[in-house]
Amino acid sequence: EQIEKGGYDHFMLKEIYEQPNAIKDTYRGRLLANQGIIQMAGLEDNIEKFLHADRIMIVACGTSWHAGLVAEYVIEEFARIPVEVEYASEFRYRNPIINKNDVVIAISQSGETADTLAAIKLAKEKGAFVFGVCNVVGSSISRETNAGAYTHAGPEIGVASTKAFTTQITVLTMIALRLAKAKGTLSNSDFHRYLQELEVIPEKVAEALASTNEKAKEIATKFKNATNCLYLGRGYNFPVALEGALKLKEISYIHAEGYPAAEMKHGPIALIDEQMPVIVIAPKQGHYDKVVSNIQEIKSRSGKIIAVVTKGDTQVKGLADHVIEIPETSDALSPLITTIPLQLLSYHIAVLRGCNVDQPRNLAKSVTVE
């Protein structure tokens, strides 16, 4: 087992550090940035289904559902196709309205999640075309779907999903870009810019790993005894807030909630006092000014602010108790970077609390029962 961990203390940490290469493996042969090409066999063969879809319905569970939420933002923004995202466990039992003009995307690392599998079967019965985004080759979900694209992240052993999340987002972003090209919904220059930016994401993830790990460890020592944490983000980084909170609760057993930052004033703000760590994802792009005013609201209630900011940011630095700087990328691709310090923060907190990081209590790597 020590050998399999490749010198890391835990599989989770190894898998966090594998992300630059995992993302490269995901887009290898599919993203040819200099030639302006994005191609995935499973998508090319069925692209008409996507282009004529009334809408895309995404079904998944847990972290994969969070990747689906990122995809909702990216596909709608780039390709202008309506997207809905649903927990597979809800979808399968609520008699959903699905028809043959719908495309269903099922996302699953393991390809064995019982609820996702059942949702796929239901969607197929109703005549939808079902596309899988899976990691495990030959898994039940990859066999049950009509077509799909593998993430090629390599085996993920840690129960807490890390590289599966970022590689799912990579595949889904490539799908969005390919559809945008076919539909002409992105300008040529934007399309080429996103391809170039996606190509350098592995380097930026590597930079984020190198530059944020120590800081995450230092912050972890300060907050390891917290009983609650709030994670806030907006736009593309709202799902990252949910994912950050899930990561913390599953491996450290600290209660955590993710919220869209603006929703805070509709309830969670009542929780904020000097005991409450609030992790705010505040990269310079997107809704930066809005997030800064959310940070001010937390500060005026004495919450402890940990902010994930773009390198060189000065405004948030003046307000937050701790800042974690990450490399800059465009808003739509930022979840691939902002998620890195949140994974590391959860990891270090869990280690400091003496938790079983790779096999947290009550959890299984794939949930094959409902």
Token digits of residue 286: 């997107």
> Roughly what angle, to the nearest 10 degrees, separates helices 163-183 and 188-199?
160
For the CB of residue 116, give the shortest distance to ligand AGP in the complex, in Å: 5
Q: Mask 11-40, x = binds ligand AGP (CB under 6 A)?
A: ------------------------------
Q: Which stretch binds ligand AGP (CB under 6 A): 158-166, 190-198, 229-237, 271-279?
A: 158-166
Nearer to ligand AGP, 269 or 367 (CB): 367
Helices (H), 28-101: 41-44, 47-51, 62-79, 88-91
Count of residues binding ligand AGP (CB under 6 A)?
15
Tell which residue, 310, 284, 309, 305, has the closest CA to residue 294. Answer: 305
Token pair for 88: 């597979």
Q: Which is nearer to ligand AGP, 116 or 310 (CB)?
A: 116
Of 167 and 329, which has the nearer Cβ to ligand AGP? 167
Per-residue binding string, ligand AGP, 108-127, x by CB under 6 A, is: xxx--x--x-----------
Q: Pairing between strand 255-260 and 228-233?
A: parallel
Q: Which residues pair with 149 in a beta bridge?
A: 133
Torsion angle in degrees (nearest 10) through CA of 339, 343, 348, 351? 170
CA of 315: how far to CAs of 149, 238, 295, 309, 320, in Å?
Answer: 41, 21, 11, 10, 9
By the rule CB under 6 A, 159 interacts with ligand AGP: yes
Which one, of 127, 124, 172, lies nearest residue 144 by Cα? 124
Active site residue 181: no
Piece of the chain touching ligand AGP by CB under 6 A; list 34-42, 102-110, 170-178, 193-201:
102-110
Q: How far is the CB of 277 from ligand AGP (least distance, A)?
A: 20
Q: Which is nearer to ligand AGP, 107 or 305 (CB)?
A: 107
User: Per rule CB under 6 A, is residue 366 in the interface with ligand AGP?
Assistant: yes
Please report how close the Cβ of residue 193 comes to ligand AGP at its closest, in angstroms.
Answer: 30
**H or E element at residue 291:** helix 288-299
Total Cβ atoms within 10 A of residue 62: 23
Which of 10, 12, 59, 62 binds ligand AGP (CB under 6 A)? It is 62
From the CB of 63, what's the least distance to ligand AGP, in Å?
3
Interaction between residue 157 and ligand AGP (CB under 6 A): no
Per CB under 6 A, contacts with ligand AGP among 160-219 are: 160-161
Asked if residues 299 and 272 have their Cβ atoms less than 8 Å apart, the reply is: no
| Residues in touch with ligand AGP (CB under 6 A) | 61-64, 108-110, 113, 116, 159-161, 250, 366-367
